[in-house]
Structure 1
Amino acid sequence: MTAVVGSATSDPRTAPAEDHDSVARRLLASSEQLSYDPRTEVDWDAPLDPGHHGASPEWSTLYGTPYWNELDERQRAELTRQESASVACTGIWFELILQQMVLRDIYARDRTSAEFQWALTEIADECRHSIMFARGAAKLNAPAYLPARHVLELGRLFKTVAWGEAAYAAILVAEEVLDVMQRDWMRDDRVAPFVRTINNIHVVEESRHMKFARDEVLQRMAVVGPVRRHASAVLVASAAHMIVTSMVSGRVYAEAGLDVARAKREAAGNEHYKALLRSSCRGLMDFLHHAGLLTPPAVAIYTRANLL
Structure 2
Amino acid sequence: MTAVDVAGQGVEQDFSSRLLESSQMLSYDPMTEIDWDSPLPADQYGLNPEWSTLYGTPLWDELTEQQRITLTRHEVCSIMSTGIWFEMILQQMILRDQYVKNPANSEFQFALTEIADECRHSIMFARICQKLEVPAYFPPKLIVELARLFKSTAGGEVAYGGTLVAEEVLDVMQRDWMRGENVLDVVRTSSKIHVLEESRHMKFAREEIKEHIKGKSKLQRHFSAALIALISYGIVYSLVNPRVYKAVGIQPRRGLAVAQANEHRKSMLRNACAGLMGFLDEAGLLTPPAVALYKRVHMI
TM-score range (shorter-chain normalised) is: over 0.9
Aligned counterpart in structure 2 of residue 64 of structure 1, from 56, 66, 71: 56
Q: What is the deviation of 1:43?
A: 0.8
Q: What is the deviation of 1:18?
A: 7.5
Amino acid at match of 2:245: Y
Amino acid at match of 1:139: K
1:256 paired with 2:248, answer yes
**What is the match of residue 159 of structure 2?**
167
Q: Percent identity?
A: 56
Q: 1:260-287: CA deviations, max 9, x gaps? A: 3322221121010011000111111010
1:299 paired with 2:291, answer yes
**What is the match of residue 134 of structure 1?**
126
5+ residue gaps, structure 1, are 1-15
Amino acid at match of 2:242: G
1:279 paired with 2:276, answer no
Amino acid at match of 1:59: W
Which deviates more, 262-271 or 129-138? 262-271
Amino acid at match of 1:207: S
Amino acid at match of 1:98: L
CA contact (8 A) 1:38 1:128 kept: yes
C-alpha change, 1:292 and 1:18, in structure 2 (3 Å) is farther
Aligned counterpart in structure 1 of residue 280 of structure 2, from 273, 288, 300: 288
What pairs with 1:1-150 in structure 2 (closer than 5 Å)?
Answer: 19-150=11-142
Q: What is the deviation of 1:299?
A: 0.5
Q: 1:179-201: CA deviations, max 9, x gaps? A: 00000000001100111000000
**What is the match of residue 196 of structure 1?**
188
Amino acid at match of 2:70: E
Q: TM-score, normalised by structure 1?
A: 0.93
CA contact (8 A) 1:82 1:255 kept: yes
**What is the match of residue 168 of structure 2?**
176
Higher relative contact order (CA 8 A, sep 6+): 1
- Paired with 2:163 and 2:9, the residues of 1 have a C-alpha distance of 19
Q: TM-score, normalised by structure 2?
A: 0.95
**What stretches of structure 1 move > 3 A for 4+ residues in a row?**
none
CA RMSD of aligned residues (A): 1.2
- Paired with 1:260 and 1:115, the residues of 2 have a C-alpha distance of 44
- Paired with 2:297 and 2:261, the residues of 1 have a C-alpha distance of 13
- Paired with 2:240 and 2:10, the residues of 1 have a C-alpha distance of 37
SS in 1 for 2:237: helix
Q: What is the deviation of 1:72?
A: 1.4
CA contact (8 A) 2:242 2:253 kept: no
Q: What is the deviation of 1:219?
A: 1.3
